[in-house]
Structure 1
Amino acid sequence: MEPLPEGFMCDLPYYKYAKGYIVQLNPEYRCRVVRLISHRYRMPCSESKVQIFSSETGEWRESVVSSLQDIRPNSIDCDGCYAIASNRMLYWMSYGEFLLSFDPFLINNSVRTSRKDGDEDITDPSYNMSSD
C-alpha cells in the first residue's frame, strides 16, 4: 500500500493553570489527525478527499475538500508523508509547485495554496468540509 500524506495537530493547551499554581489536565484539549487520500495517477482536480480523526469522538470521518486551484495528487511530497503544523494549520509541500494549508479544527474554512514564486496566494472562502 502506498503511504498517504498525513498530519497531526492539537488545539488548546494540554495543561490548565488554576489559582495557587495548580496545574491540571485541560478537559477541552483536542487533537486531529488528517490524511490526504491520494490517488497517484488521477488527473489534477479541485476536489479531494481527506480522512480526519477526532480525539473528541474517537472516530475517523471522510470529507471532501475543494480549492480554486487544481491539485495534482502525485505532486504532494510523500517523502515522510507528514505535514508541518504551525499556527493552527497543517502544511503540505508539493514538488516545487505550491504549499497546501489546512485547518483541521474548522468546519467552514478556507484552503490556501501558495506558489513558490510568491505571486499567487489563493484563498477560497467556499472551501467546505462535508462529512459523509
Structure 2
Amino acid sequence: TELGGVTLLEYMYLDENLLTGTVPTELGGLTLLKYMYLYNNSLTGTVPTELGGLTLLHDLYLHNNSLTGTVPTELGNLTLLETLTLDENFLTGTVPTELGGLTLLYDLYLYNNSLTGTVPMELGNLTELSYL
C-alpha cells in the first residue's frame, strides 16, 4: 500500500469513516508511528502481526470494525502502549499472555468479541490498568 511508504508518520487519524478492506500489513513499517486511530470503520480481515513492530506506539484504536482472527501475540512487543482498543469486532481465541508485558497500559478494551478461555494471570502485571 502507498501509505506504508510514509515512513516519518507519527499520527494516523483515520477513525470514524467508511473505510473498507483489511488493515494493511505495510503499516507495520511505519516505525515512528505513535498513534493509530482506525476505529469506527468497516475494516475486515485480521489484526496484522506486523503491528507488533510499531514499538513507539502509544495508542492503538481498532474498535468497532469487523476484524476477525485472534489477538496477535506480537502486540506484546508494544511496550510503550497505553491504550489498546479491540472491542466490538469478531475476534476469537484467547487473550494472549504477552499482553501482560505492557506495563504502561491503562486502557485495554476487548469486550464484544468471541474470545474464549480464562483471563491470563499475567494481566495482573498491568499495575497502571484502569479499564479492562
TM-score normalised per structure 1? 0.23
RCO higher in 1 or 2 (8 Å CA, sep ≥ 6)? 1
Higher strand fraction (1 or 2):
1
TM-score normalised per structure 2? 0.23
Higher helix fraction (1 or 2):
2
Which structure has the greater CA radius of gyration? 1
